[in-house]
Amino acid sequence: MVKLTEGRGKELFRKYGVPVPKGAIARSPEEAERVLRSGAVPCPCVVKAQVLAGGRGKGGAVRFASTPEEGKAAAAAILGSTFQEETVREVLLEEKVAIARELYVSIALDRTARLPVLMTSARGGVEVESVPDEEIERQPVEPFPGLAAYERRRASRSLGLAGALVGELDRLLSSLYQLFDHEDAELVEINPLAVVGERLVALDAKVIIEDDASFRHPEYATLRDDRTPLEELAREKEIAFVQLDGNIGVIANGAGLTMATLDVLKEFGGAPGVFLDLGGTDDPKKVTEAFLLMAQARPRAVFLNIFGGVTRCDTVANGLVAALGTVPPADRFPLVARIRGNHEEEGLAILRAAGITSVPDLRASVQAVVAAAKEW
């Protein structure tokens, strides 16, 4: 998932014609002061921490300044501080606008409806989660014709707009939908969308780009910072691999079995630290690669839970044994295996020959791996 900072989101807004206040990014208090003195961003202004978390307003990460000196001080207070575990490295400086009303507008991919959904609410400026359902207008959008004129008008009505603001919103929504469509976003959100006299101005921007479309957008590749280096490596090898906080590694096949395995481990007091979904792979080379990745994550113990359906137990066992041979001694870990299903007997024989026993009972196997992680 590529989540853009507000500043980057607003660059897209500008490109597509969604109105935003005059603004600039600064990376030091001195730079902030310079920008404000030059008038590139006029005072009074707003100084906003560029972090991905929301709730900055309430958290002191959005400040107001009436002079360049005050702007510098605000930037100094925010830059380098930590907001929701993120270090602030940039601030967005923006001209302060006089807000008459704060509205909410978003377009999100609704995976249940399998359509983009336009959401509008007259109750903007607060977390949308706290707005009662009946005060949010939801309109599914047919992606082929795109956002229709009547849908834009209905949105206008739901926001209680009149006069010139109706046309303003109409244009804004067309632009916003284009952005959503062309950039392959899964979410574009403006909260608040401010009514400023006869104009609408997007005061905040939240843009998330759909992961499955990343191949169409190499320009976002450098922005993804939500993956650990190992996860990045796994992605290149096309292995589904996710790092968590615990210390037990899980290798399973299929998303369902993998998730269920994590749940059962937790149920028995274990803490899953990394999981890896072999999916339907039947390729010993891939299994080997998966194991080496797992070893690099340095789990205290590993639980291999495989159900052989399409995947054959003996293939997985072969890959596993081959991989264990190449794991450097320093990276080895206790392993509890549970291999069941297609070609189970052959798989078990291969494991036995390599000194690995498979525990067929789920409860017993989970208890064994939780104990192994504790003893290590």
Of 20-28, 84-92, 183-191, 299-307, the segment contacting Mn ion by CB under 5 A is 183-191
Residues 1-40 interacting with ligand GDP (rule: CB under 6 A): 21
Q: Among 77, 99, 128, 242, which residue interacts with ligand GDP (rule: CB under 6 A)?
A: 99
SS3 label, residue 258: helix
Closest C-alpha to 68, from 43, 91, 97: 43
57 is a contact residue toward ligand GDP (CB under 6 A): yes
203 is a contact residue toward ligand GDP (CB under 6 A): yes
State yes or no: is 95 an active-site residue. no
Judge if the upstream peptide bond of residue 44 is cis by omega within 30 degrees of 0. yes
Residues recorded for the chain: 376
Residue 96 partner contact from ligand GDP, Mn ion, none using kind-dependent CB cut-offs of 5 to 8 Å: ligand GDP
State yes or no: is 104 an active-site residue. yes
54 is a contact residue toward ligand GDP (CB under 6 A): yes
56 is a contact residue toward ligand GDP (CB under 6 A): yes
> Cα–Cα distance between 142 and 178 in angstroms, integer?
13
> Cα–Cα distance between 65 and 193 in angstroms, integer?
21
- Beta strand residue intervals within 15-168, DSSP E: 23-26, 45-49, 62-65, 82-83, 86-87, 91-95, 101-110, 115-121, 137-140
97 is a contact residue toward ligand GDP (CB under 6 A): yes
- Give yes or no for a contact between 359 and 334, defined as CB atoms under 8 angstroms apart: no
192 is a contact residue toward ligand GDP (CB under 6 A): yes
Determine the distance from the C-alpha atom of residue 96 to the mean position of all C-alpha atoms in its chain, rounded to a whole number. Answer: 30
- How is residue 372 written in tokens? 């192994």
Residue 347 partner contact from ligand GDP, Mn ion, none using kind-dependent CB cut-offs of 5 to 8 Å: none
Report the residue number, 92 or 264, with the smaller CB distance to ligand GDP. Answer: 92
> Cα–Cα distance between 112 and 130 in angstroms, integer?
22
Residue 197 partner contact from Mn ion, ligand GDP, none using kind-dependent CB cut-offs of 5 to 8 Å: none
Q: How far is the CB of 142 from ligand GDP (least distance, A)?
A: 30
- Degrees, nearest 5: CA angle 371-373-376: 105
Of 53-61, 128-136, 172-180, 284-292, the segment contacting ligand GDP by CB under 6 A is 53-61
Report the residue number, 107 or 276, with the smaller CB distance to ligand GDP. Answer: 107
Closest C-alpha to 104, from 189, 41, 12: 189
> Cα–Cα distance between 260 and 268 in angstroms, integer?
13
Residue 99 partner contact from Mn ion, ligand GDP, none using kind-dependent CB cut-offs of 5 to 8 Å: ligand GDP
Which ranges in the chain belong to alpha helices (H)?
A: 6-16, 29-38, 68-78, 149-158, 164-182, 229-236, 255-267, 284-296, 313-326, 344-353, 362-375
Determine the angle formed by the axes of helices 6-16 and 164-182, rounding to 10 degrees. 110
Residue 203 partner contact from Mn ion, ligand GDP, none using kind-dependent CB cut-offs of 5 to 8 Å: ligand GDP
- Give yes or no for a contact between 301 and 373, defined as CB atoms under 8 angstroms apart: yes
Q: Among 14, 30, 40, 55, which residue interacts with ligand GDP (rule: CB under 6 A)?
A: 55
46 is a contact residue toward ligand GDP (CB under 6 A): yes
62 is a contact residue toward ligand GDP (CB under 6 A): yes
Report the residue number, 74 or 368, with the smaller CB distance to Mn ion. Answer: 74
204 is a contact residue toward Mn ion (CB under 5 A): yes
191 is a contact residue toward Mn ion (CB under 5 A): yes
Q: Among 183, 204, 277, 344, which residue interacts with ligand GDP (rule: CB under 6 A)?
A: 204
125 is a contact residue toward ligand GDP (CB under 6 A): yes
96 is a contact residue toward ligand GDP (CB under 6 A): yes
- How is residue 375 written in tokens? 């003893």
187 is a contact residue toward ligand GDP (CB under 6 A): no
- Degrees, nearest 5: CA angle 194-198-203: 20
Q: How far is the CB of 84 from ligand GDP (least distance, A)?
A: 10
Catalytic residues: 104, 189
Q: Where do contacts with Mn ion occur on this chain (CB under 5 A)?
A: 191, 204
Q: Where do contacts with ligand GDP occur on this chain (CB under 6 A)?
A: 21, 46, 54-57, 62, 94, 96-97, 99, 102, 125, 191-192, 203-204
